[in-house]
Structure 1
């Protein structure tokens, strides 16, 4: 038997279902793709996909082909889109495992064609176009060449055009409307093709720009309970965070005023201080940048992190919290009593976004 960790990541499938239903309703008549890349943003790709598929989700999106194959091998029967390209030697996996590729250059199309011919299958391909993100995708002047090559190459069928917003988390930015206008130009070029699926809306587009929903929306962070712009407060009837993270107090000790705490003594106590030693550190996704600024919940109250966060340990100041003892539960992410710590709050403290916080915690701990 393998002993369990002090640290536990809890995944609330009821919250995941709630978010899916809410977002699916928001998408109106558009098809709905659930982004489960990056191990479902740290929530568990296979487990979350099974829950979503059981509740009606019929399209999933991942980043890499490897993720798509793992998802198919886990028993997911719905459509799976692989979004960021592939090693050409692995092109046969798209046919073998019935996965939809997004392509953005001719060599990729040629590799897919060879694989389709070899397998005797007709492979549906979506083309990735760039509407201002300046990341993956072909610009407007290069689209016709890709369309011509899809027609030229045997075994390929054009399934759709896809792009991605760069600023849909900012409702005031003009970038989203500009990107959508560019996407319309791509659609004009592709309008001669029959039955194409057009999709560009991420979570921000789905929630804030209804005109961007097109034929399909692709929701990621919102499925897991967070708004793309990083809201400080969770709305009662809105999205519900799916992940929480708990640990336990290992030891409680009292140190005198003037004592240095942790590596480098970056914190010096100003009074006799009661410290709770916690078995969580940057190995567990609790960022070292939370040194001297992070907080956790103990006995329903906030406790500040004192000193540097270590690889496996950190110290919380519980001087003003009565009765803290070894074994007490500690909430690193989530709710205790009337208090709540969200991934948005943690992200604000370390100058990042909820996406990174969730991935760091969820991929480094027992779920």
Structure 2
């Protein structure tokens, strides 16, 4: 274990050795500061390594990066390579084992906590704000064998982003609020391992993602709770989704990947928004069922989308995004106010080191119930 005392560390850190635990003694006072000059704060390529109880801020690319990409020239703007070219997954096999716990990432140009070409991991009790892409990102893994749980992501272009990340992947008990877009679940050709499929989203709060005082989103999205673009066979249950002005769930095709087989069922979708906006031309086995008395677009939805068992059929009338016609401009990632102090790891100076071995362990989705409504 490397135990770090309070201070501002104006440097980049790379962990190449396996089973290293990098821990701050005080989450809000151990600061890895990029000074808006360096690309990444902490880069982890050592298997089963851990970063916990510290803050990464003010970098020109990413705050904390877990990746199997060992070529440093490819670890900047996109870990998949220059201009986000798809990565050679044979040359760079996935990092096996990682964990981020009690990490604060803020005011980094792209991603806060970024797991790319990495599997067998956990991101938990962490925080992301002020990112021009997303606070937390999981990309290009199959099977991911990863859990993202009990995190807070706010004031980003996107709260949590999932791209070409599939199988044994769980998002549980997170709060995603006051971003421009809450969550995106994507398939695309910019990374390998498309299409995205078979992730589970349970017990999350996805609220008020209409923040115009956050960095502008690259694709211009605004006011969306969950955008599923070309994702397949994902499961959304027991999530509370409210106050997203353009729509709670938005489904569309993406880069030749049709959106297929997504099951959105038994969520608490508040009536202050459109529950589902269907922008794909075919129903594709997607279904929307028992989510509260909330309007949809189109309204009513095709019957095939309300039974979760009907065959694929054409969508005769496409939906329309709600909300303002003009998307409000964003602000620079540098200008988002820094967050307040976040909870510390208990007994940080004395707790034993726990490398990221045999993660994520047994995943009990029944432990994540529907979140309470806003007070």
Q: What TM-score comes out, normalization by structure 2 length?
A: 0.26
Structure with bigger helix share is 1
Structure with bigger strand share is 2
Which structure has the larger Rg?
Answer: 1
